[in-house]
Amino acid sequence: MPFNPELCRNESEVESKLIVQYLLPQLGYTPDTWHQEVAVGSIRLDFLAFAAQVLPFVIDANSPLSVVMEAKHPKQNLNNHFLRLRHYLTSLNVKYGLLTNGKEIRIYKKLADDVKLVFSCSGKEVEEKLEEIKDFIGRDSLLKEQVMEVVNESNFPITETFDNKRKNVMKTIAIYHHKGGVGKTTVAINLAAALSKKGKRVLLIDIDAQANSTFATGLVKFQFEEDDDIRDSNVYHLLEKSEFNFIPDIVRQSKFFNNPEIDVIPSHINLVALQSNLVKFGASRSRLARKLEKVKTDYDIVIIDTPPSLDLYAEAALTAADYLIIPSDLKPFSNQGLSSVKNFVKQEINENKEGLGKPPLTILGVLPSKISTNAQYLKYNFSKHKSVITERYHLPLMDSVISERTALSACINKTIPLGNMDIPDPKSILDFATNDPSANVSAAEFESLAIEVLTKMEME
């Protein structure tokens, strides 16, 4: 059957229609020579194809590991995925990598000390270029070439084969507290960045009218209202209608925020004025949850930055979430807000979730945030502050701690001069180049948080 790129509307259709149904059979790979959703050490591959049959499926120093294939959403720019593919090829010692979003197909080859693009064509041209593609990565040519590339150094054990399991594992985390200024946005954007560096496919949703996450991920570089390209396409539009404006229609990629960049659903100040339109219709509270269901194979983790309120936007966010992280500075006013967060979850959110057939929200815990690095504080008061959370409020406490450090606000407020203006150039703390050595400590705190979150969600 000929391949029609128009049929690939999302990442899983690129996987199934282009790779599984078309390319692998055309290139001579029988089902016993390729594997889907494979974790090799800490690396997770979409497809792994071998020139020779490999059953049982074990990668050791002699495996003829030949081609890695990575499928992306049709809206993704392949340039943004090259570095990761290069990492896969070099660290697993694989000779060829195919990268495609359905619209474009690229083949990269690993040379002695570099990875080079050796072939590219559009999705439409795939049939006429098939012979060329076969010359590079067809099973017969690889066998002829006697490509017996071996896995680097010692064994990379196959830790897991996912097969179709991944389709159900997208996890959504709301970062919420109704006390303002406790670090919700700071935690949301930097946790998203840290998870993305761990190879997770991350979607960040900003549902706070202050649009601080939208700003912090580099989507507000314009200086004049007429250049505002967010007003007409943002998170409000997801909630407004059920039959159109889906996540792939609204999503953007963060701009020079983090490597790899992350997908972002932006927010806008006009969410405040528009809320009354939504309140009239109860269904808008669960629309975010329903629309996330439709992209559950496109992302591993969704992080939602929420407003400091108990309004419809907070309700929509928590209803869509599987997990909740409550950042808190552990000060008395913040603590006093915890009871109402608990009641909100118990009375509104879990009832909405039950209506959607979803289990109740899991509270990952209160995350100590903006914690003073003063040695006396840490020695005498911090543990007392922490025990209040568990003993008086009966909430779990996270193990990670996000300390108060100026680098964390400096990285969001970074600018670059352009003519006579300073243009916002925010960075994640993990990619913030600064002379301030404490930035590294802060980045390490977010890496630890990412590991804790993955472990608690049983994703590592």
Ligand X SMILES: Nc1ncnc2c1ncn2[C@@H]1O[C@H](COP(=O)(O)OP(=O)(O)OP(=O)(O)O)[C@@H](O)[C@H]1O
With binding defined as CB under 6 A, does residue 409 bind ligand X?
Answer: yes
With binding defined as CB under 6 A, does residue 190 bind ligand X?
Answer: no
- Closest separation between CB of residue 179 and ligand X, Å? 7
- Distance CA(400)–CA(391), nearest Å, equals 19
Segment near ligand X (CB under 6 A); pick from 11-19, 105-113, 127-135, 174-182: 174-182
- Closest separation between CB of residue 442 and ligand X, Å? 7
With binding defined as CB under 6 A, does residue 424 bind ligand X?
Answer: no
SS3 (DSSP) at 319: helix
SS3 (DSSP) at 162: coil
Of residues 163 through 202, those in contact with Mg ion by CB under 5 A are 184-185
DSSP at 310? S
- Closest separation between CB of residue 323 and Mg ion, Å? 18
Segment near ligand X (CB under 6 A); pick from 100-108, 182-190, 237-245, 273-281: 182-190
What is the contact mask toward ligand X in residues 124 to 163, using x (rule: CB under 6 A)? ----------------------------------------
Of residues 356 through 375, those in contact with ligand X by CB under 6 A are 369-370
CB 194 within 8 A of CB 446: yes
Of these partners, Mg ion, ligand X, none, which one is at the site of residue 181 (CB under 5 to 8 Å by kind)?
Answer: ligand X
Per-residue CA distances from 303 to 107, 210, 387 (Å): 32, 17, 27
Instruction: Pick the closest to residue 119 from 97, 139, 103 (CA basis).
Output: 97
Interface pick for ligand X out of 9, 308, 382, 388 (rule CB under 6 A): 308
Letter string b/e over residues 7-39, b meaning 16 or more CB atoms within 10 A of that residue's CB = ebebbbbbbbbbbbebbbeebbbeeebbbbbbb
With binding defined as CB under 5 A, does residue 212 bind Mg ion?
Answer: yes
- Closest separation between CB of residue 429 and ligand X, Å? 9
Return the H-helix or E-strand segment holding 440. helix 438-456
Instruction: Pick the closest to residue 123 from 71, 57, 59 (CA basis).
Output: 71
Interface pick for ligand X out of 17, 95, 184, 353 (rule CB under 6 A): 184
Please list the residues that pair with 402 across neighbouring strands: 369
Q: Who contacts 25 (Cβ-Cβ below 8 Å, separation ≥6)? A: none
SS3 (DSSP) at 40: strand
Instruction: Pick the closest to residue 38 from 14, 54, 26, 18 (CA basis).
Output: 54
With binding defined as CB under 6 A, does residue 185 bind ligand X?
Answer: yes
Instruction: Pick the closest to residue 201 from 317, 302, 70 (CA basis).
Output: 302
For tokens 């792994």, name the residue. 48
For tokens 């990619």, name the residue. 431
- Pick between residue 102 and residue 183 the one whose CB is nearest to ligand X: 183
- Distance CA(132)–CA(146), nearest Å, equals 18
SS3 (DSSP) at 390: helix
- Closest residue by beta carbon to ligand X: 409
What is the contact mask toward ligand X in residues 429 to 458, using x (rule: CB under 6 A)? ------------------------------
Half-sphere exposure of residue 125, counting CA atoms within 13 Å on the CB side?
11
43-50 and 34-40 as β-strands: parallel, antiparallel, unpaired?
A: antiparallel
Interface pick for ligand X out of 63, 76, 100, 186 (rule CB under 6 A): 186
Binding residues for ligand X, rule CB under 6 A, total: 19
419: how many CB neighbours lie within 10 A of its CB?
6
With binding defined as CB under 6 A, does residue 284 bind ligand X?
Answer: no
Of these partners, ligand X, Mg ion, none, which one is at the site of residue 409 (CB under 5 to 8 Å by kind)?
Answer: ligand X
Of these partners, ligand X, Mg ion, none, which one is at the site of residue 77 (CB under 5 to 8 Å by kind)?
Answer: none
Interface pick for ligand X out of 33, 66, 76, 210 (rule CB under 6 A): 210
Please list the residues that pair with 252 across neighbouring strands: 264
- Distance CA(348)–CA(117), nearest Å, equals 53
Segment near ligand X (CB under 6 A); pick from 94-102, 111-119, 268-276, 402-410: 402-410
- Closest separation between CB of residue 188 and Mg ion, Å? 8
- Pick between residue 169 and residue 310 the one whose CB is nearest to ligand X: 310
- Closest residue by beta carbon to Mg ion: 185
With binding defined as CB under 5 A, does residue 66 bind Mg ion?
Answer: no
Of these partners, ligand X, Mg ion, none, which one is at the site of residue 312 (CB under 5 to 8 Å by kind)?
Answer: none
Chain residues binding ligand X by CB under 6 A are 180-186, 208, 210, 212, 308, 369-370, 402, 404-405, 408-409, 412
Chain residues binding Mg ion by CB under 5 A are 184-185, 212
